[in-house]
């Protein structure tokens, strides 16, 4: 056979290869060169290493000798011989079990400390053992715990004490020793450990980092690199889709509930309309049994039914006033936290109404749920999330939302006995009043405040509790030009939005109202309407104009100063976190940061005279004030009349703006329930709507208008409610029994704000 | 020579003959490259890599072993190892060019220039490396499968040098061959102590003593799946027994150049071969194996500890790995790259295994015995490619009269018989108690 003619076929692994022994083929030598036709298989070694001297030598030797020669082995570094102490080191006999060894899974984790004592430790141990007994194992456990607790920084002695339940002296000795040793230690830990990877990838090239975690990866086919990325993206997509589905389902559920609620409300309103229940009597009657469920139903006194309804609509916003259950509360409640998560309302859509038995003349009550039911959170759940979690168990806690809660940073004084034992309404006579009060005047602006009492409120602010009495009339003559029930601050106090103040005046004298019925309802209405004329201005009002209008209002008030004192006798102002609360007989003056609450519309007027028209007006005032306006008039938010614009800036920065301007600040608000206080004494006739509307900065254009609005024939432009109750103010409002005044003021105050009226 | 030593700074990358004793204890002056220089107690030590020798022979040498007269400075273009261990340095390769042989007179006068050149070179090479990296796109992490690393790790000067001087394991002292990522604070110790049974690393004999009072292991912490005589095999799950697996890997890395400890041990099983005596089951060697191999690997890393080398244990390990494959009904091959010793061991095993089969083939009916490569592969579980390469290596395949034949020459047969007489350690399949698990069904390793 000619070599030249040969063309090797590929080696077929499936084809049988006959085996020839040496000598079987005489011409085998001819075939040797042919062997090259079979492609050489790679050795599987690195090219460079394959060429290494000793390997090549060994391979050659094998080729030649067919077995390894001793001298041809690849040399390796020589290790030393036996360890002579081996038998001492590894003690004991170990008998080979007959059966194959089978270990229990997880049986390997012994509780033994990983730390092993070294000779240095032994020295310490010997030293310590002169005084006490410390076994090596015990020491190792201690160091082990200390080491393992010191991930990023060394544990402190205090922590060590918690960590190790040891005798103090022993602990201190070991701890000190450990700290010293640790500082001298070159490694990151006294227990040597293989360097761990850092997740930021900085250790990717660190040779000492080993055993990195494998990121979970799908096994994909080779040569398809993007399979993995696509797979991960798909996983992510799937997760996000399923989340979307969940969210949509929740939204669907919520919207359904809202629709149902709306329908029910509409039905209620229609039924009431059919019944002619314009005063809300029927509603409240019906609602009474339900109210029992409510631990803290608070009556809201509205001037009249219409007013109530108007306000009712207004309540299409989150914050719901809370009604104070006590008719006359004279005791000091300095730090009542009025915090009630409105979650409650969603759970209790039915009306919570309480009619104070002592005020049968009060035409109407508004309950929280009533208000709250329109509180649609179209914007999402975060309101709920942010609401305080500390909702008391109202069922069991008699104090419920009014429970005493300590505030951080406040020191509480015991209530004065005279105050706590205050006389009931009407019993506080002039004598009593004079015991505590004095004739008071303010220097700036110069005004005679009347009979008042000065006290220091929390946060160091000065409070003037005015007592209104028959004397007011006479007192007014002391400084007739300046006499005004409004408060003028004479001092600047730091604004502290977190402070609550309560009016403690206990001279509740209904007399003023009754004794000064000088103005006829019609006249008052005219006044209001005049106000309306005067103050209803377009939204685009410049701040200056507003200021001016505020001043006008002030003037108006001043002008009317000659009128019934009653009108102005009750003021309750909450402003920028400052509450000016007044009892029916007194105004408590809050002097704060140069704020002057000098103008509040005469709420008595309103409350007494509000007919439907005025109610509408008031409601619209409340409702339709634009954001912008409310911003500038933020102090007016909760029924407090804003002052001149220049001063308002401060307010807005502190109080209302905080509630309104940012979502963050506005969110907490809804959590603060407002109480609709019932009126006291003469003011009982002044009822208010609750209005601590949290204002969402045009955030809820979609807020459904409550059906009640229809009744009030108020335009549907109610989507934004300017009412903002500063958180601190709300706090105090919540427990303020004089809320009605404030609330009533709401409506009035708004009149000074430029607003749209339909 | 000593005089000149102080005039010439021998820097990393320099090459020069270095004295070493060969196996016959004769003086040799193989060319070596300086990888590192250190100053201990005013005395300089040079870490040298003998060109054309395996890294395991690299060592620290005293200046008097350097033949300074034949000093070669690093070539300009050479990518020279830098001290900071940046991957910009490349190890010397056997075919590296040497630009200049510095004679005595040139060394002193041109040293400064050369030094400057050297610095520039390193900068260039670093930058060059960077651009290469960026073209790669992703900063490279080793592939996730297998346990042998790509040669990139060779570029790191840190991993090019042994970091552990000596390891004491049981009654043996071991001289590590390669870098191993034991905790860095332990690398400066003259001796690193290991617990013979759990392989925990300890910094001192005292610590080891203390540890032994607490460690009650007398065998590898796994299930014994094979026992014959004193030889046992234990199977350890790299996921279930991480500590031991990691300790084993750290120890093994000292003797395996291409092994990577980059990733965790989860996807591996470790088969530890032990020899029993009254103290317990002493580790002799081990091999690791991927629970699921996409490339028919039946061994990832395999090591006979140096004290047990050249006594047949390596072949026993290999034999065992193929016995497992037989039970699994698969053919398998060791993961690449093989080391020099690995190649020799496997070739030897394959040769003996295949020859054993060929020799025992009896002719039926007077016909010449024949066998296919596939049949050999099936019988032995040796992968087909390995069978072919072995047949080639043994020069058994010949083309005769239009077909391939296997020829068993006289010296082959004799050599095989001699070798088999020495091979007394064998795996007895009857002693194997092993049920393969289907790891793919478990989802994770």
Tens-digit pLDDT profile for residues B391-444: 988 888 888 878 888 888 888 898 899 989 989 999 999 999 999 988 877 655
Where is average pLDDT lowest: A414-418, B213-217, B272-276, B304-308?
A414-418
Cβ-defined contact of A41 to B249 (cutoff 8 Å): no
Could you write out the DSSP letters of every residue in A653-664? Answer: HHSHHHHHTSHH
The pLDDT of residue B30: 94
pLDDT exceeds 50 at position A426: no
Mean pLDDT (whole number) for A94-105: 86
The pLDDT of residue B108: 38
Quick one: CA dihedral A17, A21, A22, A28, positive or negative?
A: negative
Pick A689 or A614 by higher pLDDT.
Answer: A614
Highest mean predicted confidence (pLDDT) among A47-61, A499-513, B85-99: A47-61
pLDDT exceeds 50 at position B267: yes
The pLDDT of residue B440: 78
Token pair for A541: 């009002």
Find tokens 């068993």 and name the residue.
B408
The pLDDT-based confidence of A541 (bands split at 50, 70, 90) is very low
Where is average pLDDT lowest: A41-55, A245-259, A346-360?
A346-360
The pLDDT-based confidence of A57 (bands split at 50, 70, 90) is confident
Mean pLDDT (whole number) for B189-199: 94
The pLDDT-based confidence of A384 (bands split at 50, 70, 90) is very low
For residue A211, list chain B residues with Cβ-Cβ distance below 8 A. 242, 246, 249, 261, 263-265
Instruction: Tell me which residue in B216, B263, B337 faces A211 most closely, judged by beta carbons.
Output: B263
| Portion 165-204 of A in contact with B at CB < 8 A | 185-187, 192-195, 201, 204
Please state, in angstroms and as integers, the Cα–Cα distance from residue A702 to each residue in A379, A719, B160, B326, B361, following that order: 9, 7, 71, 74, 92
Q: Map residue B255 onto helix, strand or coil.
A: coil
Of residues A6, A694, A25, the one with CA closest to residue A374: A694
Beta strand ranges found along B176-294 (DSSP E): 192-194, 201-202, 223-228, 231-237, 268-277, 280-290
Instruction: Tell me which residue in B210, B218, B309 faces A117 most closely, judged by beta carbons.
Output: B210
Beta strand ranges found along B264-402 (DSSP E): 268-277, 280-290, 297-299, 302-304, 333-334, 370-371, 397-400
Beta strand ranges found along A540-582 (DSSP E): 573-575, 578-580
Where is average pLDDT lowest: A12-16, A589-593, A710-714?
A589-593
Kind and range of the H or E element at B169? strand B167-169
Find tokens 């009916």 and name the residue.
B365
The pLDDT of residue A401: 67
Determine what percent of chain B is predicted with pLDDT higher than 70.
80
Pick A733 or A402 by higher pLDDT.
Answer: A402
The pLDDT of residue B269: 95
The pLDDT of residue A528: 55
Question: Is any Cβ of chain B less than 8 angstroms from the Cβ of A107?
Answer: no
Where is average pLDDT lowest: A48-52, A318-322, B289-293?
A318-322
pLDDT exceeds 90 at position A117: yes
Mean pLDDT (whole number) for B387-393: 91
The pLDDT of residue B207: 95
Q: What is the DSSP letter of A103?
A: P
Alpha carbons B264 and B260: distance in angstroms, whole number: 10
Please state, in angstroms and as integers, the Cα–Cα distance from residue A561 to each residue in A176, A222, A236, following that order: 79, 92, 71
Cβ-defined contact of A41 to B397 (cutoff 8 Å): no
Token pair for B132: 């290469």
pLDDT exceeds 70 at position A6: no
The pLDDT-based confidence of A487 (bands split at 50, 70, 90) is very low
The pLDDT of residue A254: 96
pLDDT in tens, B45-80: 999 999 999 999 999 999 999 998 888 888 765 444
Phi-psi region of B172 (alpha: psi -120 to 50; beta: other; left: phi over 0): beta
Structural contact between residues A302 and A363, judged by C-beta atoms closer than 8 angstroms: yes
| Portion 297-326 of A in contact with B at CB < 8 A | none
Mean pLDDT (whole number) for B227-250: 94
Alpha carbons B58 and B53: distance in angstroms, whole number: 8
Structural contact between residues B72 and B82, judged by C-beta atoms closer than 8 angstroms: no
A144-150: which pairs have CB atoms within 8 A and are 24 or more residues apart? A144/A113, A144/A114, A144/A115, A144/A191, A145/A113, A146/A175, A146/A178, A147/A115, A147/A189, A147/A190, A147/A191, A148/A114, A148/A191, A150/A182, A150/A189
Find tokens 């205050």 and name the residue.
A422
Burial B426-437 (b: 16+ CB within 10 A, else e): ebeeebbebeee
Highest mean predicted confidence (pLDDT) among A179-183, A212-216, A583-587: A179-183
pLDDT in tens, A305-338: 444 444 444 444 444 444 444 444 344 444 444 4
Question: At a CB cut-off of 8 Å and minimum separation 6, what does B99 contact?
Answer: B72, B73, B75, B76
Determine what percent of chain A is predicted with pLDDT higher than 70.
35
Of residues A19, A11, A74, A65, the one with CA closest to residue A37: A11
The pLDDT-based confidence of B140 (bands split at 50, 70, 90) is low
Residues of B with catalytic function = 335
Where is average pLDDT lowest: A76-90, A228-242, A343-357, B308-322?
A343-357
Kind and range of the H or E element at A711? helix A708-712
pLDDT exceeds 60 at position B339: yes
The pLDDT of residue A96: 87
pLDDT exceeds 90 at position A423: no
Disruptive mutation site among A42, A72, A103, A228 for chain B (greatest number of B CBs within 10 Å): A103
The pLDDT-based confidence of B194 (bands split at 50, 70, 90) is very high
Instruction: Tell me which residue in B85, B153, B337 faces A44 most closely, judged by beta carbons.
Output: B337
The pLDDT of residue B156: 78
Alpha carbons A649 and A139: distance in angstroms, whole number: 66
Cβ-defined contact of A73 to B196 (cutoff 8 Å): no
How close is the nearest chain B Cα to the Cα of A173, in Å? 21
The pLDDT of residue A39: 67
Of residues B54, B62, B57, the one with CA closest to residue B10: B62
Cβ-defined contact of B340 to A94 (cutoff 8 Å): no
The pLDDT of residue B332: 95
Alpha carbons B166 and B182: distance in angstroms, whole number: 12
Alpha carbons B1 and B386: distance in angstroms, whole number: 51
The pLDDT-based confidence of A532 (bands split at 50, 70, 90) is very low
Question: At a CB cut-off of 8 Å and minimum separation 6, what does B55 contact?
Answer: B49, B160, B177, B178, B257
Please state, in angstroms and as integers, the Cα–Cα distance from residue A168 to each residue in A137, A172, B204, following that order: 18, 6, 30
Alpha carbons A503 and A491: distance in angstroms, whole number: 19
DSSP strand pairing (B268-277 vs B297-299): unpaired
Structural contact between residues A299 and A356, judged by C-beta atoms closer than 8 angstroms: yes
Kindly report the average pLDDT of chain A as a whole number: 60
Token pair for B193: 């102590």
Alpha carbons B234 and B283: distance in angstroms, whole number: 10
Alpha carbons A675 and A743: distance in angstroms, whole number: 10
Structural contact between residues B66 and B18, judged by C-beta atoms closer than 8 angstroms: yes
Structural contact between residues A632 and A729, judged by C-beta atoms closer than 8 angstroms: no
Pick A419 or B361 by higher pLDDT.
Answer: B361
Helical H runs in A437-520?
471-476, 511-515
The pLDDT of residue A294: 45
| Portion 77-106 of A in contact with B at CB < 8 A | 77-83, 86, 89-96, 100-103, 105
Question: At a CB cut-off of 8 Å and minimum separation 6, what does B22 contact?
Answer: A75, B28
Kind and range of the H or E element at B50? strand B43-50
Where is average pLDDT lowest: A508-512, A613-617, B142-146?
A508-512
Mean pLDDT (whole number) for A125-147: 89
Determine what percent of chain A is predicted with pLDDT higher than 90.
9
Alpha carbons A351 and A327: distance in angstroms, whole number: 20
Cβ-defined contact of B216 to A119 (cutoff 8 Å): no
pLDDT exceeds 80 at position A201: no
For residue B59, list chain A residues with Cβ-Cβ distance below 8 A. 77
For residue A122, list chain B residues with Cβ-Cβ distance below 8 A. 206
pLDDT in tens, A674-698: 444 443 434 333 333 444 444 444 3
Structural contact between residues A747 and A605, judged by C-beta atoms closer than 8 angstroms: no
The pLDDT of residue A83: 81
pLDDT in tens, A335-382: 444 444 444 444 444 444 444 444 444 444 445 444 444 444 444 444
Alpha-carbon radius of gyration of chain B: 25
Pick B251 or A94 by higher pLDDT.
Answer: B251
Alpha carbons B378 and B384: distance in angstroms, whole number: 9
Please state, in angstroms and as integers, the Cα–Cα distance from residue A331 to each residue in A423, A676, A720, A736, following that order: 10, 18, 37, 11
pLDDT in tens, A385-394: 444 444 444 4
């Amino acid at each position: 056979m000619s070599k030249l003619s040969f063309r090797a076929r590929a080696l077929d692994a499936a084809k049988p290869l006959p085996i020839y022994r040496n000598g079987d083929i005489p011409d085998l030598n001819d075939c040797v060169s042919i062997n090259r036709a079979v492609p050489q298989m790679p050795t599987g070694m690195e090219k460079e290493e394959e060429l290494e001297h000793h390997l090549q030598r060994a391979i050659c030797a094998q080729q030649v000798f067919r077995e390894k020669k001793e001298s041809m082995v690849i040399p390796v570094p020589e290790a030393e011989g036996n360890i002579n102490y081996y038998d001492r080191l590894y003690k004991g006999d170990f008998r080979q079990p007959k059966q194959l060894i089978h270990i229990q899974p997880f049986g390997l984790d012994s509780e033994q400390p990983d730390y092993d004592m070294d000779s240095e430790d032994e020295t310490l141990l010997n030293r310590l053992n002169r005084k006490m007994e410390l076994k090596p194992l015990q020491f190792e456990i201690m160091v082990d715990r200390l080491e393992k607790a010191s991930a990023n920084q060394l544990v402190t002695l205090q922590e060590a004490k918690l960590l190790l339940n040891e005798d103090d002296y022993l602990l201190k000795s070991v701890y000190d020793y450990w700290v010293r040793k640790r500082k001298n230690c070159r490694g990151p830990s006294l227990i040597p450990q293989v360097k761990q990877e850092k997740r930021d990838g900085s250790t990717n090239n660190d040779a000492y980092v080993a055993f990195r975690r494998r990121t979970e990866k799908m096994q994909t086919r080779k040569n398809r690199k993007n399979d993995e990325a696509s797979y991960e993206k798909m996983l992510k997509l799937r997760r996000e889709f399923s989340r979307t589905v969940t969210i949509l389902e929740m939204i669907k559920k919520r919207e359904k509930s809202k629709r149902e609620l709306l329908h029910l409300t509409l039905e209620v309103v229609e039924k009431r309309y059919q019944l002619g229940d314009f005063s809300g009597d029927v509603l409240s009657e019906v609602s009474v049994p339900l109210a029992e469920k409510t631990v803290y139903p608070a009556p809201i006194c509205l001037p009249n039914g219409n007013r109530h309804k108007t306000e009712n609509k207004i309540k299409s916003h989150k914050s719901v006033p809370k009604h104070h259950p006590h008719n006359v509360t004279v005791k000091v409640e300095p730090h009542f936290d009025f915090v009630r998560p409105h979650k409650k309302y969603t759970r209790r859509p039915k009306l919570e109404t309480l009619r104070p038995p002592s005020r049968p003349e009060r035409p109407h009550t508004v309950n929280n749920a009533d208000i709250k039911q329109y509180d649609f959170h179209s914007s999402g759940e975060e309101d709920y999330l942010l609401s305080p979690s500390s909702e008391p168990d109202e069922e069991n806690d008699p104090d419920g939302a009014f429970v005493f809660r300590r505030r951080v940073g406040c020191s509480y004084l015991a209530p004065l006995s005279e105050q706590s034992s205050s006389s009931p309404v009407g019993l506080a006579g002039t004598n009593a009043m004079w015991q505590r009060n004095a004739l008071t005047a303010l220097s700036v602006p110069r005004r005679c405040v009347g009979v008042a009492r000065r006290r220091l409120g929390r946060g160091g602010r000065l409070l003037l509790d005015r007592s209104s009495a028959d004397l007011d009339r006479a007192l007014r003559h002391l400084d007739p030009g300046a006499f005004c029930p409004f408060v003028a601050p004479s001092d600047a106090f730091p604004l502290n939005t977190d402070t609550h103040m309560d009016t403690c005046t206990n001279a509740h004298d209904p007399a003023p109202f009754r004794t000064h019925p000088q103005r006829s309802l019609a006249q008052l209405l005219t006044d209001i309407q005049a106000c309306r004329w005067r103050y209803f201005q377009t939204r685009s009002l410049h701040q200056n104009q507003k200021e001016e209008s505020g001043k006008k209002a002030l003037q108006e008030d001043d002008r009317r100063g000659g009128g019934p004192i009653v009108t102005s006798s009750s003021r309750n102002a909450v402003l920028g976190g400052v509450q000016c609360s007044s009892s029916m007989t007194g105004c408590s003056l809050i002097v704060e940061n140069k704020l002057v609450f000098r103008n509040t519309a005469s709420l008595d007027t309103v409350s007494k005279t509000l007919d439907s028209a005025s109610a509408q007006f008031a409601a619209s005032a409340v409702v339709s004030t634009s954001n912008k306006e409310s911003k500038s008039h933020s102090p007016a938010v909760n029924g407090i009349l804003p002052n001149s614009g220049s001063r308002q800036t401060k307010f807005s920065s502190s109080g209302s703006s905080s509630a309104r301007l940012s979502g963050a600040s506005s969110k907490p608000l809804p959590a603060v329930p407002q109480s609709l206080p019932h009126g006291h004494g003469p003011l009982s006739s002044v009822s208010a709507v609750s209005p601590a509307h949290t204002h969402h900065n045009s955030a809820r254009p979609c807020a459904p208008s409550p059906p009640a609005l229809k009744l009030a024939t108020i335009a549907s432009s109610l989507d934004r409610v300017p009412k903002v109750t500063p958180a601190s103010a709300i706090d105090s409002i919540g427990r303020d029994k004089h809320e009605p005044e404030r609330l009533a003021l709401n409506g009035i105050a708004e009149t000074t704000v430029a607003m749209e009226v339909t | 020579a000593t005089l000149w030593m102080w005039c010439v700074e021998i820097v990393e990358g320099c090459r020069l003959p270095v004295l070493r004793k060969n196996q016959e204890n004769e003086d040799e002056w193989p060319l070596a490259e300086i990888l590192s220089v250190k100053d201990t107690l005013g005395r300089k030590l040079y870490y040298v890599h003998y060109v054309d020798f395996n890294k395991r022979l690299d060592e620290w040498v005293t200046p008097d072993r350097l033949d300074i007269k034949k000093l070669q400075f690093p070539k300009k273009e050479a990518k020279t190892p830098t001290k900071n261990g940046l991957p910009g340095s490349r190890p010397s390769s056997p075919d590296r060019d040497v630009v200049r042989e510095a004679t005595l007179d040139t060394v002193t006068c041109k040293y400064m220039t050369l030094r400057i050149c050297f610095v520039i070179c390193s900068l260039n090479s670093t930058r060059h490396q960077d651009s290469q990296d960026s073209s790669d796109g992703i900063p490279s992490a080793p592939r996730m499968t297998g346990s042998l690393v790509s040669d990139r790790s060779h570029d790191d000067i840190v991993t090019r040098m042994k970091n552990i001087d000596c390891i004491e394991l049981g009654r043996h002292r071991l001289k590590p061959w390669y870098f191993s990522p034991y905790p860095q604070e332990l690398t400066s110790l003259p001796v690193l102590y290991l617990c013979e049974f759990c392989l925990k690393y300890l910094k001192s004999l005292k610590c080891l003593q203390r540890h032994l009072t607490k460690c009650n292991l007398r065998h590898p912490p796994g299930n014994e799946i094979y026992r014959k005589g004193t030889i046992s095999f234990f199977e350890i799950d790299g996921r279930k027994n991480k500590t031991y697996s990691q300790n084993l890997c750290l120890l093994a890395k000292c003797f395996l150049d291409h092994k990577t400890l980059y990733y965790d041990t989860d996807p591996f099983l470790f088969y530890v071969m032990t020899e029993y005596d009254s103290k317990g089951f002493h580790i002799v060697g081990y091999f690791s194996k991927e629970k699921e191999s996409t490339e028919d690997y039946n061994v990832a890393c395999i090591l006979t500890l140096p004290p047990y080398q050249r006594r047949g244990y390596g072949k026993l390990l290999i034999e065992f790995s193929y016995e497992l494959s037989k039970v699994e009904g698969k053919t398998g091959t060791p993961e690449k790259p093989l080391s020099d010793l690995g190649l020799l061991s496997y070739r030897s095993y394959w040769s003996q295994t295949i020859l054993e089969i060929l020799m025992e083939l009896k002719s039926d009916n007077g016909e010449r015995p024949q066998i296919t490569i596939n049949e050999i592969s099936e019988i032995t579980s040796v992968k087909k490619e390995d069978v072919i390469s072995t047949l080639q290596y043994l020069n058994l395949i010949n083309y005769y009269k239009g077909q391939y034949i296997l020829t068993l020459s006289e010296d082959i047969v004799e050599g095989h018989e001699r070798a088999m007489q020495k091979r007394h350690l064998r795996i007895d399949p009857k002693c194997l108690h092993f049920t393969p698990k289907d790891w793919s069904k478990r989802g994770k390793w």
